[in-house]
Amino acid sequence: MGMAALSAFEMANLVLGRLAYQVHVLSEQGGPVRNSLGFAVESQPFGDGFFDTTVTIGSLRVKPSTPGLLAYLREAAGTSRRVAGICTGAYVLAEAGLLDGRRATTHWSHARSLQRLYPAVKVEEDRIFSVDGNVWTSAGLDLAVALVEDDFGSEVAKAVARKLVVYLRRPGGQSQFSALLDLEPRSDRVRRALVHAKEKLTNELSVEELAAAANLSPRQFSRLFRQETGQTPAKAVEHLRLEAARVMMEEGRHSMDVIARETGFADRERMRRASLRAYGQPPQVVRRSFESSRISALE
């Protein structure tokens, strides 16, 4: 999974029409390194070469790193412009002491273990990626796309995301969980209705409208939707709207009135009540947490 994220750099070269990135795969001893699927990846041994960005990847089963790997990463932290950890690569950076006192994230299933093992790390367990100084951590592919954006801007990053067939380039503060994935509809009809809702948030999105998108009667649709998702259509639509509102809050470019209108809540009060139900916090508190994270990253 970690190696797959490196495809973003290859796609960036294609988008830019030049060799903007050269990727070198390193290991302590060099030679073939067997991965979790059972086949080997060729690597070069650690040396004295300088790399602009050093990215470390972990493994499905986290295990202690060798002294040589930890020493190499500590040196890289002082010579590379950026040091990054993909998925459980964050454990390796933490083991090397590079995350002490820093904000960091990893795959959601490992986040609490990372916090328990390395209490000096400020683990943000539900972020897509975190940036603290020159240290970047992420759950996966989003980190590589974000690095490309850092180097060449949002338009190149969007083009790379399209080539990777990623639905969109997600902001770092967005939840690792998507409302659509969380609902997990089994049938194409319910899935079509949810995609329609996500794309038309400013509509009323009544049961009748969603049923029409699913090509079902309202009664059939309501029954099937609850069977497949365990929620009412109205509750699912609220979750989609809150997810979109969180993204707009993190961007920091819009007033609460605009966010409420653009996400279909119509007014700030309805959005406030929905936020309290879902997060136990009003939108202003959610927004302040994003703003605080941005300020910390700049510092």
Sequence letter at residue 121: V
Q: What is the pLDDT of residues 92-127, one digit of tens each?
A: 999 999 999 999 988 877 888 999 999 999 988 767
Closest of 117, 108, 64, 65 to residue 87, by C-alpha: 108
Q: By CB neighbour count within 10 A (0-12 exposed, 13-18 middle, 19+ buried), where does 241 fall? A: buried
* Alpha carbon distance 9, 192 (integer Å): 33
pTM comes to 0.61
More confident residue, 44 or 49: 44
pLDDT higher than 60, residue 51: yes
Q: What is the pLDDT of residues 172-199, one digit of tens each?
A: 444 544 565 566 677 888 888 988 998 8
Catalytic-role residue among 87, 94, 244, 247: 87
Instruction: Answer yes or no: 49 catalytic.
Output: no
Please give the pLDDT value at position 181.
Answer: 57
What CATH architecture does domain 179-298 belong to? Orthogonal Bundle (1.10)
Q: Which residues of 196-216 are buried (b: 16+ CB within 10 A; e: fewer)?
A: bbbeebeeebebebbbebbeb
The secondary structure of residue 112, as a DSSP letter, is: H
Please give the pLDDT value at position 293.
Answer: 52
Confidence of residue 288 (pLDDT cuts 50, 70, 90): confident
Please give the pLDDT value at position 297.
Answer: 45
CATH number of the domain at 2-163, please?
Answer: 3.40.50.880
Please give the pLDDT value at position 126.
Answer: 66
- Within this chain, domains 2-163 and 179-298 share the same CATH topology: no
Q: What residue ranges do the domains of the chain occupy?
A: 2-163, 179-298
* Alpha carbon distance 95, 86 (integer Å): 14
